[in-house]
């Protein structure tokens, strides 16, 4: 289930059923009410477009559903170290490194954050008997903060906060080019790229997606942005910034080869050496499921990204040679 996405094609026997009722019959563990909220959040597409829960299905309709990952107790425990930022009896906030996949998929059946969570929380007191549940995701090569529920009640509460778009999510992104305006928003719908189903794209009739950005620092040929997500679509930041003609540095999927246009061979080599894109989930805030208090967490940039910015400053870019000329 790549990126926790499901797809269905309606046959003659399913034609005429309501969208929400059909999905409830197909997706185990999801109530009809919860699926209705998913549909209202535009996380369900019918033939590439948003639809209502009451939509009557037709033969050959194609449905795409974007799901939050299932609870971690579906996964084999593996002894993988975790960087825990905060933990209590209700939830845990972890700092995910780049390169770690959040949950198992077709190409990564093990070695994921979910496997690590299942192992780690086997050894902790858990009076409800429920293992941690993943509430949201980060791309494999995105580092930063993730909140994980330790009880079913917390999982439901946090999932609702994400669906209601009340969670504060702020990222740091280094992009190609000088962004002209100091701040702005990108309000463009997203869906699977019709020409390449493994990618996302700005598609008319797709899921509503809103991204806010503000320039933190400008370099000669790059811009460091604070990016706030108002929705949580797959690859949203990367697709929106690429649509704006300022792709994320190191993004092989949406960068369009922009990294290869850099003239300085040492800088090109530094980008390749990152072996990731320059996107970091820096800040995360939400209402605590138990106390109702708004809590906020922050994660510093990983060393490899700090080193890259230092190179742009010309302070350590040459390893004894002259500063990088950008």
Which residues are known to be catalytic? 139
As a whole number of angstroms, the distance between CA 10 and CA 63 comes to 8
**CB-CB contact of 226 with 213 (8 Å):** yes
**CB-CB contact of 147 with 281 (8 Å):** no
Tokens of 159: 């999932």
What phi, psi does 187 have (nearest 5°)?
A: -120, 85
C-alpha closest to that of 282 among 259, 258, 306: 306
**CB-CB contact of 290 with 154 (8 Å):** yes
List the alpha helices (DSSP H) in the chain.
Answer: 19-26, 32-40, 113-120, 152-163, 236-243, 265-274, 303-313
């Amino acid at each position: 289930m790549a990126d926790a996405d499901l797809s269905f094609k309606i046959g003659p026997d399913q034609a005429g059923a309501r969208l929400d009722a059909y999905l409830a019959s197909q997706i185990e563990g999801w109530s009809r009410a919860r699926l209705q909220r998913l549909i209202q959040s535009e996380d369900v597409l019918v033939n590439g477009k948003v639809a209502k829960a009451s939509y009557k299905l037709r033969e050959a309709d194609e449905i795409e559903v974007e799901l939050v990952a299932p609870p971690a107790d579906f996964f084999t425990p593996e002894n993988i170290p975790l960087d825990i930022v905060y933990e209590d009896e209700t939830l845990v906030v972890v700092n995910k490194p780049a390169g770690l996949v959040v949950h198992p998929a077709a190409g990564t059946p093990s070695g994921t954050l979910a496997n690590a969570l299942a192992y780690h929380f086997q050894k902790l007191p858990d009076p409800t008997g429920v293992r941690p549940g993943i509430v949201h995701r980060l791309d494999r090569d995105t580092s930063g903060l993730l909140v994980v529920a330790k009880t079913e009640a917390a999982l439901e509460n946090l999932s609702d906060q994400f669906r209601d778009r009340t969670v504060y999510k702020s990222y740091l992104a280094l992009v190609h080019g000088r962004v002209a305006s100091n701040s702005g928003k990108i309000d463009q719908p997203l869906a699977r790229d019709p020409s390449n189903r493994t990618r996302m794209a700005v598609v008319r009739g797709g899921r509503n997606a809103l991204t806010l950005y503000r320039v933190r620092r400008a370099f000669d040929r790059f811009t460091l942005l604070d990016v706030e997500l108002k929705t949580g679509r797959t690859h949203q930041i990367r697709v929106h910034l690429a649509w704006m003609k300022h792709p994320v540095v190191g993004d092989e999927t949406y960068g369009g080869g922009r990294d290869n246009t850099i003239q300085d061979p040492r800088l090109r080599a530094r980008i390749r050496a990152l072996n990731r894109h320059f996107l970091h989930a820096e800040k995360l805030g939400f209402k605590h499921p138990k106390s109702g208090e708004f809590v906020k967490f922050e994660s510093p940039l990983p060393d490899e990204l700090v080193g890259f910015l230092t190179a742009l400053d010309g302070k350590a870019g040459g390893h004894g040679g002259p500063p990088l000329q950008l």
